[in-house]
Amino acid sequence: AARAIRSQILLGLGQWAEVQAECDQVITSRACARDVNLTATAMWGGYKARSTAGLPARNLMDALKRWRTTVRHTDDPAAAAVVMADLIVHLTEADQLHEARAWLREVEALVERTGHPQARLAQAVGQGALAGATNDWRTAVGAYRAAGQHAAQLRDLLLEARANGGLALALLQIGDGESKNEGRERLSMAHSVLSRLNARPDMERCEAGAKQFGLRPRQRRPSAANRTPGALTRREREVLALVVNGLTNRQIAQRLTISEKTAEGHVGNILAKLSVSSRGKAAELAKATGLLEGTAA
């Protein structure tokens, strides 16, 4: 599981060779024989890394199609939804709309069965991507607004930024004055967060979309120190230990005798330095890598 977590982080950073190596290790591990969602996550990461590098990857997509027949009955809808949302976006960008719609139907079935927030987020992302692919920009706006709300509720900074990026481009396509103003604002918001997370592929997608409209988001590249897990300060390591234990910002503030706003700032810095998009992923990474060894919670 630790390798799968690492591969997802590397995917966000655009480190394709490393993703391929990690996913190949996961696919051949014993854990994959027991966990179909772990297998699917690794196959998707491997497919994306290989296809980006121009390497053969058709067999991995075929395997993912077989996984689709079982995903409705998964006992981990959150993990399944993350993979499916990313797949739908990829397929629409590749103009494989029939296949994208087939995956969206599975997401909709997952929402109907479980009502899981991550599945609802995946549904909104898929609807936005497909609406944009068919130039139905007003439907895309509604879908991406919903996606942003679901991502915010899940406290997933990366997915919220992606939703804002999709919303921005849909608003700019509509083209009236009010939509343009909001579109520029949303684009700036998305790019700022993606830059802070060092999510290079998403940043490049955001910048390419902006270029269509003669816009150029302000560059805010994170420093080398902010990309290094070891760069956490003593206080940030204390806060991360409390995040791992499931404490909210308010509870962290009470425990450390600081303001809730200060606690929120520490958590934001931690997510940026670890290049992860949510508290849950930060906790998973800390556990998987032993990042907090020697830190008292």
pLDDT band of residue 51 (cuts 50, 70, 90) is confident
pLDDT tens-digit map of 129-148: 999 999 999 999 999 999 99
Query: What local confidence, expressed as pLDDT, does residue 218 receive?
Result: 58
Q: Are 93 and 112 in contact (CB under 8 A)?
A: no
| Neighbour count for residue 103 (Cβ, 10 Å) | 25
Do residues 47 and 17 touch, judged by C-beta distance below 8 A?
A: no
What does the pLDDT look like over 63-82, one tens digit per residue? 777 777 677 677 788 888 88
pLDDT digits (tens, 9 = 90+) for 164-193: 999 999 999 998 888 999 999 889 888 888
Residue 217 CA neighbour count, 13 Å, CB half: 29
Q: What is the pLDDT of residue 122?
A: 96
Q: Assess whether pLDDT exceeds 80 at residue 153.
A: yes
> What's the predicted TM-score (pTM) here?
0.67
pLDDT at 113 over 60: yes
| Residue 33, pLDDT score | 67
What is the set of domains in the chain, with CATH numbers? 225-289 (1.10.10.10)
Whole-number average pLDDT of the chain: 82
* Percent of the chain residues topping a pLDDT of 90: 32
Least confident span in 161-165, 189-193, 195-199: 195-199
For residue 221, the model assigns a pLDDT of 45
Distance CA(108)–CA(72), nearest Å, equals 9
Q: What is the pLDDT of residue 265?
A: 84
Mind listing the pLDDT tens digit for each residue in 205-245? 889 988 988 887 755 444 443 344 446 788 888 999 999 99
Best mean pLDDT range from 10-19, 88-97, 277-286: 88-97
The per-residue pLDDT for range 1-16, each reduced to its tens digit, is 555 566 666 666 677 7
**DSSP 3-state percent helix, strand, coil across the chain (nearest 5):** 80, 0, 20
Would you state the structure tokens that stand for residue 19, as one six-digit string? 């993703």
Structure tokens at 182: 């909001």
pLDDT at site 3: 59
Tokens coding 147: 């996606």
